Structure 1
Amino acid sequence: MPPDTLPRIYLAGPDVFRPDSAQVFARLKAACARLGLAGLEPADDAAPGTAALQGDALAQRIYEGNVARIRAADGVLANLADFRGLEPDSGTVFEVGYAIALGKPVAAYGVPPGSYAARVGAARDCAPDGQGVLRERGDGTMVEGLGQRLNLMLARSVGLADSPEDALRLLAERLGLRT
């Protein structure tokens, strides 16, 4: 299949912030290619004329570029690893939700095994209340305890896999490709 006709996969995740982001995206694109997919990395600084932009203008260009790439993609591969805390990168979560709203399949990786509640309970001062609901001791906030690896809105809307390669295979299957 010619490269311009391959299913396009938007590569979402906080990898754009890594000092080795070029190598990370090269590996992800190579993994896509092995499955007959074309990886689309975020357009954070690749748009023409971006070098002269700053502040709000640059932020708007990045936003518009990434939204356009998601719209042009056939599916999304999302790195939902914890980022600066116990939750995935908020920008990546937005991209996942946007893709789901557009009806595009999303597969994700980077989520540790076990439940979100267990991870929160290990990292924060929590205890079960009288009904057995896990709550943060400081303010009584409930910790979602439905056994999901992430917040249920993410866990139920994406296919979770243990590696980028497994997530790409899941996406390829959802796109009707043989892997």
Structure 2
Amino acid sequence: MPRIYLAGPDVFVEHARELTRRKQQLCEAYGLDGLVPLDTEEPSAAIDVPSPRIFAANVALMRSADAIVANLTPYRGLSADVGTAFELGFMAALGKRLYGYSNIAIPFRERVAAVFGPVRAGADGRLFGADDLMVEDFGHADNLMIDEALAGFGHCLITAEVEPGQEFDDLTAFEACLVRVRRDLAGHEPS
């Protein structure tokens, strides 16, 4: 059964164990073994686990996986969770299959404008936010390195717009990723 590393800020929600169990059950329904970082921690002692141990366990889990499905829904800001971005890059460096989803379909440029005010064209034609920092305008869901990593490895980024407050609980886009993973890994020998 192909092993899929499930990355994302899901581990930070109050009902993380319930949410990751739902994700693992969906994985199982598609013939996939969903690996979540929480599985490497003792439930009662998770907050007392030294960070180097958590990092090492997550790296080992990623190395053992055949692919990653990353929740790239913006987390506490305009962009994907930085830990998830690291995990996506790490898996890319390992040559693993990359899949991602976001439950916010608004392009990055529009999210910048909503938070920092109108985007303006600079003298050289590049776009800048009201904070005077350049705004990437490639029509991507997030930073070009995330979107292009997913595209460059021939896999997918699925975006969806969900009900407010359901950004981390709605698993429709996640399940759409699993459909792609199952199709792409059909007949694949697990790592």
> TM-score, normalized by length of structure 2?
0.80
Counterpart in 2 of 1:129? 122
Aligned 8 A contact 1:111 1:149 in 2: no
Greater mean alpha carbon deviation, residues 121-130 or residues 11-20 = 121-130
3-state SS of paired residue (1:130)? coil
Aligned 8 A contact 1:10 1:73 in 2: yes
Name structure 1 gaps, 5 residues minimum: 1-5
What is the distance in 2 between the residues matched to 1:96 and 1:177? 24
2:50 is equivalent to residue 58 of structure 1: yes
> Alpha carbons of 1:53 and 1:14: their partners in 2 closer, same or farther (altered >3 Å)?
closer
3-state SS of paired residue (1:143)? coil
Aligned partner (choices 76, 80, 84) of residue 72 of structure 2: 80
Aligned partner (choices 133, 141, 166) of residue 176 of structure 2: 166
2:98 is equivalent to residue 101 of structure 1: no
Q: Which has the higher relative contact order, 1 or 2, with Cα contacts under 8 A spaced 6 or more apart?
A: 2
Greater mean alpha carbon deviation, residues 103-112 or residues 58-67 = 103-112
Q: CA RMSD in A?
A: 2.4
What is the distance in 1 between the residues matched to 2:115 and 2:180? 31
3-state SS of paired residue (1:156)? helix
Counterpart in 2 of 1:11? 6
Aligned length: 169
The alpha-carbon deviation at position 26 of structure 1 amounts to: 1.0
What is the distance in 1 between the residues matched to 2:82 and 2:46? 26
> Alpha carbons of 1:44 and 1:26: their partners in 2 closer, same or farther (altered >3 Å)?
closer
What is the distance in 2 between the residues matched to 1:93 and 1:71? 16
Aligned 8 A contact 2:17 2:38 in 1: no
Aligned partner (choices 142, 151, 173) of residue 150 of structure 1: 142
Aligned 8 A contact 2:40 2:57 in 1: no
Name structure 2 gaps, 5 residues minimum: 151-155, 160-172
Aligned 8 A contact 1:43 1:62 in 2: no
3-state SS of paired residue (2:19)? helix
Aligned 8 A contact 2:126 2:134 in 1: yes
> TM-score, normalized by length of structure 1?
0.85
Counterpart in 1 of 2:41? 46
> Alpha carbons of 1:8 and 1:61: their partners in 2 closer, same or farther (altered >3 Å)?
same
What is the distance in 2 between the residues matched to 1:120 and 1:52? 34
2:18 is equivalent to residue 23 of structure 1: yes
